[in-house]
Structure formats: structure tokens, C-alpha cells
């Protein structure tokens, strides 16, 4: 107990120190990497249990650096590759004028929202939440919406920060059978995933989405009025087509593919499942075919593909590397027993069942916010639910549901979360600015959820 407390205190000092440096605009890559490595080193010296390593070097001193290698390997093979492919695709469709065509087409029926831009922005939340059920990757969906909805919102007069805030908010509730957190929660409490989604998640998620829509409407309008950050120049500019109108289908092709070929819909006798990265590559080839038909110049089309590779490189340099160092920082916190310390603290407060649920929900929200990963935070706390629930004499579902929601919500207000980093890079805004916009609506949704659960 004492050993765990020492580690938690050291971790807390590092959190304060790191936050201070980030606020002072020190390079986030260097700050997170060095803080993570220092925490791992201290944990090793104090003989704490280190995070799992697939392939040890045989010397614990070298193993600290092998965590970086494994994080690179895992990230680049999974979410990193997906983000880079999407970043390249976004750059390419902008180059060939497909984004411009989508905006042109979408602006026709959406002219009504010219006078109500914040209403249009708020409507992104339920639309995105529905898509998130079929496309359960927060970073993947957010970047797809950046390619399709972001330019439409900014042309309606919504500021870049307001647009990015509602796009990231659409990934705040990890629900649906395809969600990793939902699958894990259902497995922990031994219920069917689809039944858990229908019986337990849908009603509360709808209520929370409404609260978020209302909150974002007022929060974004307040901050934009205060900062006078609306895009008058874009709003007054005459739209000019840069490519044939048919090109408008290209930016939304990945979304169409992912919905049609998802686990939620059985349109074909033999189930076909398509992942985000593959859908993006298929869409890229479709875009190349469109360009070949339009230009009838194969050499020019091949040359244009350099834009795609450059887009991938820019995303790797600015986004993927930051996700990797954020992962090292999270490993440092875990190695010092920070998560276990939070858990012990909550269980030793002597609270009743309701109090424990509230404390655990807030703890997991904060842990997710600090580590930038809802999955990591939930996987650390979730497996303990059945034992705690039995001890308190309550159902596991009533305890795990708010914890599961708070994990994905905490990620949405984390400046080191992959989804915020990726979106901010493409939009050219600060992650801290997005966090500032997200914080009030997400806290309002969190409080609503807790009240719902308590009642």
C-alpha cells in the first residue's frame, strides 16, 4: 500500500510538471517522451512491476528503450498507418478538387444554416455518433469527417475550432457492438454485446447526445464571439468548382464503403467486413481512376500521387510520432502504479455503492484524459468491476456502464489523445483549444449520466 502510494505521488508530480511545460509551449514530443522514460526508469529502480514487453533484450536498462521501439511498431502497424493513409487521402482529394466539389454540392441544401451556423455544427454530433457505431475508430471517423464535413462547416461560417470540437465530440460515446470498449464491458459482465447495446447503451447515449448538442451550441457561440474567430472571408467568397461535380462523391466514398461493409449490416450472403485503412486505399484508387478519365494523362496522374505520399509523411511527422510518445508517457504512469493508486484511493474512502460508482467514473475519466486513451484506462479498471459490484451488492451493469462511457469521454478532452492530435494537425489549430471547447459540454454530459444512473 505504501509502495503504491509513493509511486502515485511521483506520477502526480510528473503530471503537474509535464502539464506546466506543455502550457508553456515546450515541444510536446520531447516533454512526453522524456517524462515517460524518466517515470519508467524510476519504476525500474523502485522495483515496480513494469509494463508487458513482447521481446526483452535481457537487460532491463535497454528494455526501457525497447518500449519506444514496440510502440513505434504497434502504432505504425495499426492506428498510425490508418491515420497516415487518411491524411494522405485528405491531401489528395483537396489537390484534385474533390473537397471543393463536396462543399459546392452540400452548400445548396444547407444555405438555410448560413444564418444558423452553430445549429449546423451541433447537428454534427448525433450524425457523427450514428456513424461511430458503424466506424468504431475515433481517429478514423474524425478524420473522415474532417475530409467531408469540416470544409462544409467552415463555409457555413463555423470557425475551425468550433468545427473540430463537434467533430471530435461525435466520437465521445463509445457505443455499439463494434466498439472495443463495449465488447470488453459486455465480456466482463458476461452479457451479449448486442443486448448490452440495445438495453443499456442506447437510451442514455441519446440523452447525453442531446445535452452535448445544447452545450456545444452555446459554448462555441460564446467562444467565437469572444475571440471573433469566425471565417468571414470564407463565408463571403464565391464558390468556384475546381473539378466536375461527380467528384463530390469521392470524399464520402470511404464512409459509404465502411457502412455498407460493416458488421452491423448483412447485405451479402457471406459477411464482408472492411477496415478503415483498406476503405481509404480503395477510395484513393477510385480517385485516381476519376483523374485518369478526366485528364487522359497517365503521367500527370501518377505525378499527382506524390501529394498523397507527402500527406502521409506530414501526418507521421506531426501526429503519429506524438501518439507514440504519448503512449510512452502513459506506460510511465502505469509503471508507477498510478492507476492502481487511484483505485485504492477510491475504494478506501468508505463510501456507499452510489459514491463508489461516482468516484470510479470520475477516476476513469481523469485517467483517460491523462493517458489520451479510453481503452487503456478502461482495461485497467474494468476487470475489477464484478468483484467490487458483488462486494457492494449491486449489479455489474449499473457500475460498468458509466465507467465505460467516462473512458471514451475522457479521451475527448485529452490533449494527448490521437483523435485530437490528428484533427488539430489537419485543421491547423491547437489541441488545447479543442480541449477548452470540449471540456464544458463533456462535463455536462458526464454529470447527466451520473444523475441518470443514480436515479
pLDDT grade for 233, boundaries at 50, 70 and 90? very low
Quote the CA–CA distance of 136 and 355 in Å, as a whole number. Answer: 31
Q: Tell me the average pLDDT of the chain.
A: 83
Environment class of 192 (CB within 10 Å of its CB; exposed 0-12, middle 13-18, buried 19+)? exposed
Q: Which residue has the higher pLDDT, 358 or 242?
A: 358
In terms of average pLDDT, the best of 12-16, 48-52, 259-263, 323-327 is 12-16
Decide if 152 contacts 162 (C-beta within 8 A): no
* 151 vs 58, higher pLDDT: 151
Q: Are the C-beta atoms of residues 148 and 420 closer than 8 Å to each other?
A: no
Quick one: residue 228, left, alpha or beta (phi over 0 = left, psi -120 to 50 = alpha)? left
Note the pLDDT tens digit of each residue in 183-210: 778 888 888 877 888 888 889 999 999 9
pLDDT at position 230 is: 45
Contact 131, 259 (CB under 8 A): yes
Cα 172 to Cα 167: distance, rounded to the nearest angstrom? 10
CA–CA dist 169, 420 (Å, integer): 10
Q: Name the most confidently modeled range: 42-46, 67-71, 164-168, 256-260.
A: 164-168
Per-residue model confidence (pLDDT) at position 178: 65
Q: Of 355, 369, 370, 378, which is closest to residue 450 (Cα–Cα)?
A: 355
C-alpha cell at 377: 484506462
* 124-138, 206-220, 233-247, 256-270: the lowest-pLDDT one: 233-247
Residues 315-325 have a mean pLDDT of 78
- Read off the pLDDT band of 218 (50, 70, 90): very high
d(CA 99, CA 113): 19
Cα angle: 403, vertex 405, 410; to 5 degrees: 90
For residue range 49-81, list pLDDT tens digits in order: 888 787 777 777 888 888 888 888 877 777 778
The CA angle 180-190-453, to the nearest 5 degrees, is: 75
Distance between CA atoms of 129 and 20, rounded to whole angstroms? 33
**pLDDT-derived band at 455, boundaries 50, 70, 90:** low
Dihedrals phi, psi of 137, to nearest 5 degrees: -105, 115
Is the pLDDT reported for residue 1 higher than 80? no
From the list 97, 176, 98, 163, the residue with the least C-alpha distance to 132 is: 176
pLDDT exceeds cutoff 70 at 107: no
Helix (H) or strand (E) holding 406: helix 396-411
The whole-number average pLDDT for the span 403-422 is 89
Q: For residue 237, name the pLDDT band (cuts at 50, 70, 90).
A: very low
Distance CA 87, CA 82 (A): 9
DSSP for 217-285? HHHHHHHHHHHT---HHHHHSPP--SS-GGGGHHHHHHHHHHHHTSTT---SSS-----HHHHHHHHHH
Confidence of residue 3 (pLDDT cuts 50, 70, 90): low
Separation of alpha carbons 224 and 298, rounded Å: 46
**Higher-pLDDT residue of 424, 314:** 424
Average pLDDT over residues 331-353: 76
Residue 27 pLDDT: 81
Give which of 135, 126, 133 is closest to 169, Cα–Cα.
Answer: 126
Mean pLDDT of 308-330: 82
DSSP state of 296: -
pTM of this prediction?
0.73
State residue 128's pLDDT score. Answer: 85
Nearest partner of 138 among 419, 361, 411, 358, judged by Cα: 419
Under 8 Å CB-to-CB from 417, ≥6 apart: which residues?
138, 326, 372, 373, 411
Amino acid at each position: 500500500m505504501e509502495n503504491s502510494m509513493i509511486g502515485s505521488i511521483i506520477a502526480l508530480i510528473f503530471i503537474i510538471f509535464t502539464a506546466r511545460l506543455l502550457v508553456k509551449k515546450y515541444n510536446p514530443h520531447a516533454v512526453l517522451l522524456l517524462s515517460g522514460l524518466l517515470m519508467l526508469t524510476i519504476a525500474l529502480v523502485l522495483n515496480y512491476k513494469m509494463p508487458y514487453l513482447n521481446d526483452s533484450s535481457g537487460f532491463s536498462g535497454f528494455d526501457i528503450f525497447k518500449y519506444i521501439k514496440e510502440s513505434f511498431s504497434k502504432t505504425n502497424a495499426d492506428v498510425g498507418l490508418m491515420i497516415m493513409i487518411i491524411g494522405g487521402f485528405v491531401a489528395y482529394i483537396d489537390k484534385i478538387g474533390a473537397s471543393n466539389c463536396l462543399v459546392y454540392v452540400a452548400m445548396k441544401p444547407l444555405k438555410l444554416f448560413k444564418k444558423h451556423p452553430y445549429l449546423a455544427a451541433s447537428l454534427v454530433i448525433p450524425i457523427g455518433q450514428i456513424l461511430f457505431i458503424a466506424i468504431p475508430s475515433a481517429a478514423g471517423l474524425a478524420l473522415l469527417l474532417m475530409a467531408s464535413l469540416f470544409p462544409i462547416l467552415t463555409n457555413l461560417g463555423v470557425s475551425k475550432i468550433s468545427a473540430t470540437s463537434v467533430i471530435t465530440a461525435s466520437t465521445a460515446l463509445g457505443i455499439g457492438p463494434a466498439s472495443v470498449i463495449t465488447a470488453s464491458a459486455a465480456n466482463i459482465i458476461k452479457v451479449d454485446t448486442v443486448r448490452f447495446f440495445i438495453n443499456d447503451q442506447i437510451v442514455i447515449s441519446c440523452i447525453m447526445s442531446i445535452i452535448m448538442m445544447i452545450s456545444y451550441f452555446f459554448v462555441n457561440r460564446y467562444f467565437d464571439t469572444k475571440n471573433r474567430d469566425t471565417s468571414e472571408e470564407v463565408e463571403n467568397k464565391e464558390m468556384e468548382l475546381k473539378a466536375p461535380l461527380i467528384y463530390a462523391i469521392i470524399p464520402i466514398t470511404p464512409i459509404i464503403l465502411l457502412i455498407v461493409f460493416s458488421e452491423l449490416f448483412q447485405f451479402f450472403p457471406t459477411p464482408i467486413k472492411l477496415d478503415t485503412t483498406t476503405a481509404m486505399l480503395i477510395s484513393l484508387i477510385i480517385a485516381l481512376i476519376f483523374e485518369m478519365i478526366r485528364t487522359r494523362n497517365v503521367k500527370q496522374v501518377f505525378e499527382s500521387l506524390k501529394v498523397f505520399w507527402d500527406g502521409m509523411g506530414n501526418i507521421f511527422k506531426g501526429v503519429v510520432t506524438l501518439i507514440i510518445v504519448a503512449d510512452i508517457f502513459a506506460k510511465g504512469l502505469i509503471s508507477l502504479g498510478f492507476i492502481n493508486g487511484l483505485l485504492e484511493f477510491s475504494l478506501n474512502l468508505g463510501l456507499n455503492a452510489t459514491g463508489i460508482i461516482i468516484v470510479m467514473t470520475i477516476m476513469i475519466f481523469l485517467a483517460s484524459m491523462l493517458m489520451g486513451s479510453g481503452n487503456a484506462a478502461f482495461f485497467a479498471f474494468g476487470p475489477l468491476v464484478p468483484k467490487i459490484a458483488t462486494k457492494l451488492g449491486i449489479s455489474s451493469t449499473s457500475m460498468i456502464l458509466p465507467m465505460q462511457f467516462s473512458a471514451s469521454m475522457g479521451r475527448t478532452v485529452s490533449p494527448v489523445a490521437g483523435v485530437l492530435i490528428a484533427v488539430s494537425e489537419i485543421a491547423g489549430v491547437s489541441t488545447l483549444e479543442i480541449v477548452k471547447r470540449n471540456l464544458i459540454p463533456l462535463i455536462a454530459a458526464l454529470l447527466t449520466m451520473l444523475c441518470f444512473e443514480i436515479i
